[in-house]
Amino acid sequence: GEDVEQSLFLSVREGDSSVINCTYTDSSSTYLYWYKQEPGAGLQLLTYIFSNMDMKQDQRLTVLLNKKDKHLSLRIADTQTGDSAIYFCAESTGGFKTIFGAGTRLFVKA
Amino acid sequence: EPEVTQTPSHQVTQMGQEVILRCVPISNHLYFYWYRQILGQKVEFLVSFYNNEISEKSEIFDDQFSVERPDGSNFTLKIRSTKLEDSAMYFCASSRDRGQGYSGNTIYFGEGSWLTVV
């Protein structure tokens, strides 16, 4: 069945780059996403990538997709304390359902 | 920016009681969803709703659950007889078009309703 796995915690120093990794199982995944959840807030879509792309860059965010290995990563350049949050990897085949991972909690140390 | 709003933000209920979680989707959206996240676990899809009927549901969404759009603005999730394992954060979401990413479609999530069953 469909599954998305990601590590639960990541700790970085302010100013460093953060890399959050994710693996998924559904080879028919068409869209892959990164969501951010700040304390007390909902899920905020950060960025998404189509499965026919290898990379997408959006300001400090870089998404890399290795479709062969079913591996997705999110790189945050110059990480700030305001980036501390839970980051969810998710995938869908374009239907009604989105499959989420358990989330990676990013801690940014000043 | 338009947003999905959910009430209550937190509810504590006794096992066996009925609970209704309410959501106001973004006004021009046509597709509505409920997801849940048990503490420390993954965000799980429950149900999607379009044109006044369920379009897809997961195995979790059994007869204990129901959804309704009672008027033009609210979208509700009812849990008939709550169990301890129903304790979770419940997220409502809405989108203009079907699914996530389809033709650039985006699903917008609310802040969630924490349900604690005791």
Query: Which of A43, A95, A101 faces B91 most closely, judged by CB atoms?
Result: A43
Q: What's chain B's length in residues?
A: 118
**How far from the centroid of its chain's Cα atoms is residue B116's Cα?**
15
- pLDDT of B106 above 90: no
Q: A95 vs B45: CB contact, 8 Å cut-off?
A: no
What pLDDT was estimated at residue B105? 66
% of chain B exceeding 70 in pLDDT: 94
CA distance B23 to B69: 10
What pLDDT was estimated at residue B56? 93
- pLDDT of B104 above 70: no
What pLDDT was estimated at residue B18? 98
Amino acid at A4: V
Both structure tokens of A35:
């969501």
What pLDDT was estimated at residue B73? 85
Q: Does A94 touch chain B (CB under 8 A)?
A: yes
% of chain A exceeding 90 in pLDDT: 65
What pLDDT was estimated at residue A26? 82
CA distance A50 to A109: 32
What pLDDT was estimated at residue B102? 52
Average the pLDDT over B24-51 and give the result: 92
CA distance B26 to A88: 22
Q: B111 vs A42: CB contact, 8 Å cut-off?
A: yes
Q: Does B72 touch chain A (CB under 8 A)?
A: no
Q: Evaluate whether A45 touches A24 at the Cβ level (below 8 Å).
A: no
What pLDDT was estimated at residue A40? 75
Both structure tokens of B33:
């969803």
- pLDDT of B103 above 60: no
Average the pLDDT over B62-86 and give the result: 94
What does the buried/exposed string (b/e) look like for B12-42 if buried means 16 or more CB atoms within 10 Å of the residue's CB?
ebeeeeebebebbbbeebebbbbbbbeeeeb
| Chain B CA closest to residue A100 | B43
- If one compares A65 and B40, the residue with the highest pLDDT of the two is A65
pLDDT digits (tens, 9 = 90+) for A37-82: 988 788 888 998 988 889 999 999 999 999 999 999 999 999 999 9
**How far from the centroid of its chain's Cα atoms is residue B31's Cα?**
12
Phi, psi values for residue A97, rounded to 5°: -100, 140
Q: Quote the Cα angle for B108-B37-A72, to 5°.
A: 70
CA distance B42 to B68: 25
Residues of B in contact with A40 (CB under 8 A): 111
Phi, psi values for residue A6, rounded to 5°: -150, 155
Average the pLDDT over A23-46 and give the result: 86
Q: Does A39 touch chain B (CB under 8 A)?
A: no
Q: What's chain A's length in residues?
A: 110
Both structure tokens of A97:
């359902």
Would strands B43-50 and A71-76 be described as parallel, antiparallel, or unpaired? Answer: unpaired
Residues of B in contact with A96 (CB under 8 A): 31, 33, 45, 48, 55-56, 98-99
% of chain B exceeding 90 in pLDDT: 75
Query: Which of A40, A48, A101 faces B111 most closely, judged by CB atoms?
Result: A40
Query: Which of A88, A95, A100 faces B99 most closely, judged by CB atoms?
Result: A95
| Chain B CA closest to residue A32 | B101
Mean pLDDT of chain B: 91
